[in-house]
Amino acid sequence: MMNVNTEKCIGCGECIKDCFIRDIEMVNGKAKINNKTCIKCGHCIAICPKNAVSTDEYDMKEVKEFTKEEFLIDPDNLLNFIKFRRTVRQFKDKEVEMEKINKIIEAGRFTQTASNMQDVSYIVVREKIEELKELVFEGLKNKGQNILDNLNSDNIMFKRYAIMWLNMYDAYKKDPKQNDSLFFNAPLVIIVTARLPFNGALAASNMELVTDALGLGTLFSGFFLMAAKDNKEINDLLGIKKGTEIAACMIIGYPDVKYLRTVPRKAVDVTWT
């Protein structure tokens, strides 16, 4: 539960103003958290000027005091960092260190979630990556063949992908190393799952930023999501928890390619009202 140290509390009311679910009240000049509708978002911990709020549900040692040096990022540099990132499909034959994997997952763990659900889970695939790859190629081949065998007005738009998946599978079978057009011989795959996929997508977005900051490259695989949907073998191999969905598949490794500049994009589509 959330707790207030009444000896430290000065009754400033900042926590009350910032608690959008109104679970905090002032009693005898001190803040009191009722812990009835509280979702443990931690805003009261973050805003208290006297560090009087704590929780016994999470590790308070993780709380860091704000400093400009550690927390502020130049907005123009951040925007350029986002513009410069590229999807990577060429990876070095080099393992990703555990320290870096943990930092990537940490970025997901501290991403905001709806109602502070914190429902996001991560599946790190390294040892079974070849087994997973085989199942994904097989799954795409089967989906592609099913589309071609049952073409109609609803799925005709997927015809070119169906043909592509069959060709990818044939090429992979001929030379799995040379023709890995799914994972591109990357050493690491992180599957992000959540009860609410939107939460997983938010986490994956932050994870990508940290991945690039660590000197690694990322590919978000939409083809993997297609293959894994309703595929019992893939879901069993990954141990997908009941009630959760795959929100993102991040293929990660050290880039074996060097980009020198950003690229142009379509003009922004904005509606001002």
Q: Please check whether residues 33 and 138 belong to one and the same domain.
A: no
Tally of domains within the chain: 2
Q: Please check whether residues 161 and 37 belong to one and the same domain.
A: no
Helix axes 197-213, 98-109, angle to 10 degrees: 140
Rounded to 5°, the CA angle 184-101-228 comes to 50
Q: Please check whether residues 36 and 161 belong to one and the same domain.
A: no
As beta bridge partners, residue 24 has: 33
> According to the model, what pLDDT value does residue 154 have?
86
pTM of the model: 0.94
> According to the model, what pLDDT value does residue 254 have?
98
Q: Please check whether residues 86 and 218 belong to one and the same domain.
A: yes
Residue 106 forms part of a structural domain: yes
Residue 188 forms part of a structural domain: yes
Tokens representing 249 are 């598949």
Contact predicate 217/91, CB 8 Å: yes
> According to the model, what pLDDT value does residue 181 have?
96
Buried b (16+ CB within 10 A) or exposed e, 103-127: ebbebbeebebeeeebbbbbbbbee
> According to the model, what pLDDT value does residue 155 have?
86
> According to the model, what pLDDT value does residue 153 have?
86
Q: Please check whether residues 99 and 209 belong to one and the same domain.
A: yes
Give me the CATH number covering residue 24.
Answer: 3.30.70.20
Q: Please check whether residues 198 and 134 belong to one and the same domain.
A: yes
Rounded to 5°, the CA angle 224-126-177 comes to 70
Q: Please check whether residues 25 and 125 belong to one and the same domain.
A: no
Domain boundary, last residue among 30, 62, 94: 62
- Domain enclosing residue 99, as ranges: 73-273
Q: Please check whether residues 88 and 10 belong to one and the same domain.
A: no
Q: Please check whether residues 34 and 84 belong to one and the same domain.
A: no
Share of the chain above pLDDT 90, in %: 97
Q: Please check whether residues 114 and 194 belong to one and the same domain.
A: yes
The amino acid occupying position 71 is: F
Other Cβ atoms less than 10 A from the Cβ of 94: the count is: 11
Q: Is 249 exposed, middle or buried (0-12, 13-18, 19+ CB in 10 A)?
A: buried
CA–CA distance, 91 with 257 (Å, rounded to integer): 8
CA nearest neighbour of 252 among 200, 198, 214: 214
Residue 194 forms part of a structural domain: yes
What kind and span of H or E run contains 237? helix 232-238
Q: Which residues of the chain have pLDDT under 70?
A: none
Give me the CATH number covering residue 165.
Answer: 3.40.109.10
Contact predicate 94/164, CB 8 Å: no
Tokens representing 146 are 């099913």
CA–CA distance, 128 with 56 (Å, rounded to integer): 37
Residue 68 forms part of a structural domain: no
Q: Please check whether residues 95 and 209 belong to one and the same domain.
A: yes
Q: Please check whether residues 32 and 78 belong to one and the same domain.
A: no
